[in-house]
Structure 1
Amino acid sequence: MAGFIQIIEMHTSRMDEVEALGKEIRARLDDGRPSSPLRGTIAADRDRPGVYFNLVEFASYEAAMENSSRPETGEFAARLGKLCDEPPKFYNLDVREVWEPQSQR
């Protein structure tokens, strides 16, 4: 299975504002382009209060890089940085395998 996931690790005390920003930018990025994200997940780290992860799935690395070059994505990154207590960390991951339990199909 091909695919690409970008993870953004955020340390913030302003998560409500981060989520509002995400919704605003998602509405602008969700335009059906091949480079648009396929899915996103926001998760809170149970062991480290104030630490959150945004997992964004793309069809390919190339789609993710095309999405990264969009003005909306640059605007999101700049505004996100101002809402975080320290600079966000970005992880770029090539998907090697995805599995689902048989009972879930």
Structure 2
Amino acid sequence: MSFVQVIEFDTQREEDVQRLMDEWRETTAGESTATHTTLTREHGRPGHYVTIVQFPSYEEAMRNSRLPETDEMSRRMQELCDGPPRFLDLDVIRDEDL
């Protein structure tokens, strides 16, 4: 069963967040267990973002979370946010192409 982590946050520093995401992707190449990520910005709420990260399983997501680079990214991400991010850990129970 695949797994999705949703991270919801507010920031006025979108470009810095994007650079941090790029840096994390480069430093974890070959180690990260994430299979896909999507960064979204809420249309009617400037400064509000949601990141969706997909993993093969909960266990792989937890392995990814234990990477030192992920820990460092999380610390730096919190510095860029206007408050604490909100995390949702979701088991995918249905996934269809429409």
Normalising TM by the smaller chain, what interval? over 0.9
With normalisation by structure 1, the TM-score equals 0.89
- Is 1:100 the counterpart of 2:94 in the alignment? no
- CA-CA distance at 1:15 after TM superposition: 0.7
CA-CA distance at 1:10 after TM superposition: 1.2
* Counterpart position of 1:65: 62
Percent identity of the aligned residues? 40
Q: 2:80 aligns with which of 79, 83, 102?
A: 83
Aligned partner of 1:13 in structure 2 is 12
Aligned length: 98
Structure 1: unaligned runs, 5 residues or longer: none
**CA–CA distance in structure 1, aligned partners of residues 73 and 9 of structure 2:** 13
| Superposed displacement of residue 28, structure 1 | 1.5
Which of these residues, 40, 45, 55, is aligned with residue 42 of structure 2? Answer: 45
Q: Give me the whole-angstrom Cα distance separating, in 1, the residues matched to 2:65 and 2:44.
A: 30
Deviation by residue 1:9-58 (Cα, 9 ceiling, x = unmatched): 11000010000000000112221x4x510000000011211000111000
CA–CA separation in structure 2 for the residues paired with 1:10 and 1:19: 13
Structure 2 unaligned segments of length 5 or more: list them.
Answer: none
Structure 1 or 2, whichever has the larger Rg, is 1
4+ runs deviating over 6 angstroms:
none
